[in-house]
Amino acid sequence: MHNKRGWLSDGFKLKMGDGNTVRFWKDVWIGNQSLANQFPTLFRVSSGKEDRICKMGKWRDGKWEWSVQWRRSLFEWEKDNWSKLQALLDNTQPVQEQKDRWEWKHDKDGEYVVKSAYNVLSSNNGHDKAWIYKRIWSRLVPTKVSAFTWQALQDRIPTKINLFRKGIITDPNQVLCGLCGESTEDSNHLFIHYRDTCSVWQKCLQWWGISTVMTNTCQETFEQHQSFFKESSVRAGWDVVWLAFIWSIWMSRNGKIFRNSEYEVNRIFELVQLRAFNWIKGKANEYSFNMYEWMMEPVLCLKAKRKK
């Protein structure tokens, strides 16, 4: 089931260290759900509902002893659950002098993401949005790009605000956007509102002769695309451009933050054109247009399918 509350934990996996950053009850660190969800009756009578793991026990002679505190003594019927929880805890303990690490589950081949995208598609919850996911998983685009975009639409990518929520960034001053420094870095700022991103996007729209209004969220932007083109080959081509746009923005953002390279509007726009061209030409052999034609008349290129 697609659990909206679990979106962030879902994208991150814990490597437990000293337990300083992980909330015992509320984070997902044993099993696929938080302990609060797995043991709701115990959670209700626990004290320290927000406490980190490091507060839930003590080191004695190099061995960790769990000590979970209750607001009152447990009833008989609660003790059963407590034994179950103890059995789980017995197999796990913090590691001294090692920091907790949250690893982002966006692995190279995107296998994890592909699986969770499939889960959304097949759940009732995801039904009304299924067309979005189907079009993101375009046959023309590399899997890692679809996987990334799919996560971006759910705000599951490691933007600074998400890293802060997860305790990976602890200094609140560090959640500011690494490109402009003026706003918190979240997906919508990065892919829509930041002024240079916005300029790249305007160039893409002009290139395709589209005039439209600005949206507020990435998902709205993608939903808006539905109305742009009637012909399926043109629409599929525009989807590729949008995916290339998202990917190019993210790559350029990383370049700026990690390698101090320039975040330059014209350069990024060219990358979008080039990536989209390569992806379409690499996978769809029914098209014969060249790079020059693609840059001049993208819509005509996609309308002119080669006869097989």
Binding site for Zn ion (CB under 5 A): 177, 179-180, 194
Q: Are 157 and 163 in contact (CB under 8 A)?
A: no
For the bound state, the minimum distance from the C-beta of residue 184 to Zn ion, rounded and expressed in Å, comes to: 9
Q: Are 70 and 45 in contact (CB under 8 A)?
A: yes
Give, in degrees to the nearest 5, the angle at Cα 17 between 13 and 20: 95
For the bound state, the minimum distance from the C-beta of residue 112 to Zn ion, rounded and expressed in Å, comes to: 29
For the bound state, the minimum distance from the C-beta of residue 173 to Zn ion, rounded and expressed in Å, comes to: 15
Considering beta carbons, is residue 9 or 252 the nearer one to Zn ion? Answer: 252
For the bound state, the minimum distance from the C-beta of residue 249 to Zn ion, rounded and expressed in Å, comes to: 11
Query: What whole-number distance in Å separates Cα of residue 217 and Cα of residue 118?
Result: 23
Query: What whole-number distance in Å separates Cα of residue 94 and Cα of residue 86?
Result: 15
Q: HSE (CB half, 13 Å, CA atoms) of 66? A: 16
Considering beta carbons, is residue 157 or 179 the nearer one to Zn ion? Answer: 179
Considering beta carbons, is residue 117 or 161 the nearer one to Zn ion? Answer: 161
For the bound state, the minimum distance from the C-beta of residue 179 to Zn ion, rounded and expressed in Å, comes to: 5
Beta bridge partners of 15: 101
Considering beta carbons, is residue 191 or 207 the nearer one to Zn ion? Answer: 191
> What H or E segment, with its residue span, contains residue 88?
helix 76-90
Residue 27 CB: number of other CB atoms within 10 A?
Answer: 22
Query: What whole-number distance in Å separates Cα of residue 302 and Cα of residue 280?
Result: 10
For the bound state, the minimum distance from the C-beta of residue 132 to Zn ion, rounded and expressed in Å, comes to: 26
Q: At 70, list the tokens.
A: 């209750």
For the bound state, the minimum distance from the C-beta of residue 195 to Zn ion, rounded and expressed in Å, comes to: 8
Query: What whole-number distance in Å separates Cα of residue 146 and Cα of residue 115?
Result: 12
Considering beta carbons, is residue 193 or 225 the nearer one to Zn ion? Answer: 193
Considering beta carbons, is residue 28 or 175 the nearer one to Zn ion? Answer: 175
User: Which backbone phi and psi does 126 adopt, to 5 degrees?
Assistant: -85, 0
Considering beta carbons, is residue 169 or 236 the nearer one to Zn ion? Answer: 169
With CB atoms as reference, the residue minimizing the distance to Zn ion is 177
Instruction: Classify residue 201 by burial, with Cβ atoms within 10 Å: 0-12, 13-18, 19+.
Output: buried
* Residues near 172 by beta carbon (within 8 Å), at least 6 away in sequence: 164
